[in-house]
């Protein structure tokens, strides 16, 4: 695996994603170790679509695996680790965003959606809302029933 192979794998991945999702595609963002080391055997990618074309997320994930991930892995030898979100899912804070925002390569970004999302997720007020929500989740120790 080398820089040329990596570039070709990513170009084909982008092409396949654009063909598969068409006008429903919002963003394709690469992140992770392969950005620093082309010999790293994994390509990390976030794909954001506008609307769910199938109400079942597992079906959408299976479609991605069959039509995009598996052909790239078989042809180029890279493992493709992916996160697939709808707009609604993407706009909820995910801890994985911290890795993405630190070092990413935006490959496709319709109407600047990902850049907007990044600014929104790094906005201190937005971050505090997520921290407050997470901190209000009730902790119930294992073995306790009905408030005993």
The pLDDT value recorded for residue 52 is 95
Q: What is the mean pLDDT of residues 30-43?
A: 92
Chain center to CA of 87: 11
Does the pLDDT at position 125 exceed 90?
Answer: no
pLDDT tens figures, 67-85: 999 999 999 999 999 999 9
- pLDDT > 90? residue 2: no
Mean residue pLDDT of the chain comes to 88
Indicate whether 36 pLDDT > 60.
yes
Which is higher by pLDDT, 5 or 148? 5
Using pLDDT thresholds of 50, 70 and 90, give the confidence band for residue 142. low
| Domains, the chain, with CATH or none | 3-135 (3.30.460.10)
Tokens of 66: 């069959």
Stated pTM of the model? 0.83
pLDDT at 22 over 90: yes
pLDDT at residue 92, rounded to an integer: 84
């Amino acid at each position: 695996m080398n820089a040329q192979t990596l570039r070709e794998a990513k170009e084909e991945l982008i092409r396949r994603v654009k063909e598969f999702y068409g006008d429903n595609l919002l963003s394709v963002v690469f992140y992770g170790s392969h950005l620093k080391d082309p010999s790293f055997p994994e390509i990390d990618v976030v794909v954001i679509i506008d609307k769910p074309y199938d109400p079942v997320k597992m079906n959408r994930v299976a479609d991605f695996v069959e039509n995009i991930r598996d052909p790239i892995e078989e042809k180029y030898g890279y493992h493709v680790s992916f996160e697939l979100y709808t707009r609604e899912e993407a706009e909820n804070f995910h801890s994985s965003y911290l890795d993405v925002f630190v070092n990413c390569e935006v490959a496709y970004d319709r109407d600047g959606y990902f850049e907007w999302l990044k600014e929104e997720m790094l906005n201190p007020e937005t971050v505090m809302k997520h921290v407050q929500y997470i901190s209000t989740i009730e902790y119930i120790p294992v073995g306790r029933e009905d408030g005993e």
